Amino acid sequence: ETGVTQSPTHLIKTRGQQVTLRCSSQSGHNTVSWYQQALGQGPQFIFQYYREEENGRGNFPPRFSGLQFPNYSSELNVNALELDDSALYLCASSWAGWTDTQYFGPGTRLTVL
Amino acid sequence: ELKVEQNPLFLSMQEGKNYTIYCNYSTTSDRLYWYRQDPGKSLESLFVLLSNGAVKQEGRLMASLDTKARLSTLHITAAVHDLSATYFCAVDTNRGSTLGRLYFGRGTQLTVWP
């Protein structure tokens, strides 16, 4: 049991809409990363937050944005949804340290119609 | 950009047999991870390998790392059905104290049959 939770589990949206996905990190973890996993692919890094500041970003457009809150919960917001945004979105929390591992939540399955 | 290649992508093996999954990466890495993913589920951490020559074992799985060859292997010994899953390797190139991004391979879908 990693202690990382995500909501909602599944979500269906239409093109052009906006969506907010939520993640609750494992207690004590100060770093959260978000990944997008398309069907049959490995997860792709979207961005990472460390102590409420963005700490790195992958090759995703600005319509993907995030927030991390003082209680280490976080959000991923996606504006102007496109069909290709359909994927499993995973958050991973960790304590910033040399040997620590990123622990993944169960994911949110987003379908864009 | 760092590339991570796994092979094979699909592996079907009989119970009791041994096999190895390979993970190559294109540039120097600080850490290499192996994760397991069951259908419709999230990623479960299996191993973290931190240095050249590192070897870790858990049950029927053993992972090793050769940083000079930029190669990691995940060896399966005497496979059982419960090992059926998709296995991912991932590398982390961050050189600071905070964790960086993980670059994942495409995964190896393992099916173990009786």
Would you say residue B16 has pLDDT above 70?
Answer: yes
Whether the Cβ atoms of residue B23 and residue B105 lie closer than 8 Å to each other: yes
Portion 60-89 of A in contact with B at CB < 8 A: none
Question: What is the dihedral sign for C-alpha A84, A32, A74, B88?
Answer: positive
Q: What is the DSSP letter of B41?
A: S
Q: Length of chain A, please?
A: 113
Would you say residue A1 has pLDDT above 50?
Answer: no
Query: Which residue is closest to A34 within chain B, CA to CA?
Result: B101
Q: What is the DSSP letter of A25?
A: P
CB contact under 8 A, A42 and B42: no
Q: Tell me the nearest-neighbour CA distance from B14 into chain A, angstroms.
A: 23
pLDDT in tens, B3-15: 999 999 999 999 9
Q: Tell me the nearest-neighbour CA distance from A79 into chain B, angstroms.
A: 23
Q: What is the DSSP letter of A82?
A: -
Taking contacts as CB-CB distances below 8 angstroms, the residues of chain B near A89 are: none
Would you say residue B97 has pLDDT above 60?
Answer: no
Query: What integer is the mean pLDDT of B69-98?
Result: 88
Chain A within 8 Å of B41 (Cβ-Cβ)?
yes
Q: Which of B4, B98, B107 faces A31 most closely, judged by CB atoms?
A: B98
Q: How confident is the model at residue B29 (pLDDT cuts 50, 70, 90)?
A: confident
Would you say residue A92 has pLDDT above 70?
Answer: yes
Q: Which of B4, B42, B106 faces A104 most closely, judged by CB atoms?
A: B42
Nearest to B13, CA basis, from B104, B106, B75 = B75
A89 or A96, which is more confident?
A: A89
Chain B within 8 Å of A103 (Cβ-Cβ)?
yes
Whether the Cβ atoms of residue A29 and residue A96 lie closer than 8 Å to each other: no
CB contact under 8 A, A42 and B88: yes
Mind spelling out the 3-state secondary structure of B65-114?
EECCCCEEEEEECCCCHHHCEEEEEEEECCCCCCCCCEEECCCEEEEEEC
Would you say residue A36 has pLDDT above 90?
Answer: yes
Query: What integer is the mean pLDDT of A50-55?
Result: 86
